[in-house]
Amino acid sequence: MKSLISFLALVMLTTSGCVNDAAVKPADDAKQQHARHHSAEAKGVCADTKALPSNQCAETISAAFDGKGVLWITWASNDHVYVQSSNDKGLSFTAPVMVNPVAEKIEAKGEYRPKIKPDAKGNIYLSWTLKLEGRHSGHIRFSRSTDGGRHFSAPVTVNDNLDVISHRFDSMAIGKNGEIFIAWLDARDVEEAKKAGKQFEGSSLYYSWSDDGGQHFYPNKRIATHTCQCCRLDTAIAPDNTPVITWRHVFEGGIRDHALIKFNDWNTPGDTHRLGQDNWKIDACPHHGPGLSISDSGIYHAVWFSGSPTNPGLFYAYSTDAGRHFSTPVNFGKEGAGHPHVLALGSQVRVVWQEFDGTHNVIKLIKSIDDGKSWSKPEVIAQTAQSGDQPFLVSDGQKIYLSWKTQQQDYQLKPIE
């Protein structure tokens, strides 16, 4: 329980329901913070302000394969978003292409990061959170490339409420017909409640979408109220080509467990379903969001973190009825574990997560070959004595790969057999 106690101490419960981002590193327990401190200073090319941009200097990297097997990555450095591609599964990359020629503060650490998604026609879409001057404030930004990543459109703001308040933690998914779905955590309902002299627990979940390749976005619509303010979202597209989104919710009594909604259509969010019954009561932000993957057969695979005193750790569950019910959760990671990610490819399912073993930041893996009904024993697939980004899984449709970045080192793409 020592890691759990350390984590809860670091969370620093506040009456506002959100931690001070400057005081607590997202996803870090005390040992992981020690590892970050050990290698926090910029060195070499990353300390040279005149050097050409390099993904070695990025804290976070997001990756995705397009339909032709080309790997695309995005990252931020010195107030600019960059994109690169690789035709040889990450062995070499094209020169970085700058997305935003006008510099702007970009959230790119921990559970924040720019996102990249290609569509079936070869267009490349990006979203990120622009950091504003107000505490925890931001805008959701979007840009696209229609010429294979050589040029990108001028960034636009997706949230139509332009107050200097929280619009953060963007998540993006691309539909089978090129629809672009972007959701985020939004504080506009919180501010309205304040004006009316009312209490409003948590934040709200809003979204917008485009059916013309990102040239225009529909007006913002609310998906849910009373969401946790500081945890990543995850979205996926169901086999019937509708969005599915999962997030950490604030349930009655201050319980911060997870919820899921499948859309009835692109304009209509469906019913809210609860994902897990951890009953973690906490008046703070855990900085641990869930992961979601949907197989072609329609099975939902979900992973998440809970700090519940009675049942802490990392969990996996699956649903065969579009998220209305989930299997009994499997507790696969306990002390010092965090930030799980899941990916399904046919009946193959892979889960990765991050741990600290006292010396190294370690990435662990479990595998299932039967749609999540049974699992292999955990194995270490990567490690570093330096600080590392959170692990993610990507697929080219044939294989699943670990996507990972360690501090001031090259990006890693590792096939998982």
CATH number at residue 267: 2.120.10.10
Model pLDDT, residue 7:
38
Backbone angles phi, psi at 416, to 5 degrees: -110, 110
Range of the domain at 405: 2-416
Tokens (6 digits) for 13: 């419960």
- Each residue's pLDDT, cut to its tens digit, for the chain (417 residues) gives 434 433 333 333 333 344 433 333 333 443 444 444 344 456 677 888 788 999 999 999 999 999 999 999 999 999 999 999 999 999 999 999 999 999 999 999 999 999 999 999 999 999 999 999 988 999 999 999 999 999 999 999 999 999 999 999 999 999 999 999 999 999 999 999 999 999 999 999 999 999 999 999 999 999 999 999 999 999 999 999 999 999 999 999 999 999 999 999 999 999 999 998 999 999 988 999 999 999 999 999 999 999 999 989 999 999 999 999 999 999 999 878 999 999 999 999 999 999 998 899 999 999 999 999 999 999 999 999 988 899 999 999 999 999 999 988 889 999 997
Predicted pLDDT of residue 336: 85
Q: Give yes or no for a contact between 77 and 57, defined as CB atoms under 8 angstroms apart.
A: yes
Cross-strand pairs, 281: 255
How many domains does the chain divide into? 1
Number of continuous H segments (helices) and E segments (strands) in the chain: 3, 27
- Under 8 Å between Cβ of 388 and 406: yes
Q: What is the pLDDT of residue 285?
A: 85
Q: What is the pLDDT of residue 22?
A: 31
In three-state secondary structure terms, 75 is strand
Strand order of the β-sheet with 234-237 is 234-237, 243-248, 258-265, 268-275
CB 165 within 8 A of CB 185: no
Residue 254: phi and psi, rounded to 5, are 75, 20
As given in the structure block, the two tokens for residue 373 are 């009904």
* Closest CA relative to residue 181, chosen from 226, 223, 121: 223
Note every long-range contact of 15-21, with CB atoms under 8 Å and residues 24 or more positions apart, other chains counting. 15/283, 17/201, 17/202, 17/229, 17/250, 17/283, 17/284, 17/285, 18/136, 18/229, 18/230, 18/284, 18/285, 19/230, 19/284, 19/285, 19/287, 21/136, 21/230
CB 75 within 8 A of CB 61: yes
pLDDT, residue 48, reads 81
Helices marked H in 2-81 — which ranges? 2-11, 30-38
Return all residues near 243 (Cβ < 8 A) that are at least 6 apart. Answer: 173, 175, 181, 183, 207, 209, 235, 236, 237, 262, 263, 266
Q: How many other C-beta atoms lie within 10 A of the C-beta of residue 94? A: 14
- For tokens 């949230």, the residue is 159
Query: Which pTM does this prediction carry?
Result: 0.91
Residue pair 211/243 in contact by the 8 Å Cβ criterion:
no
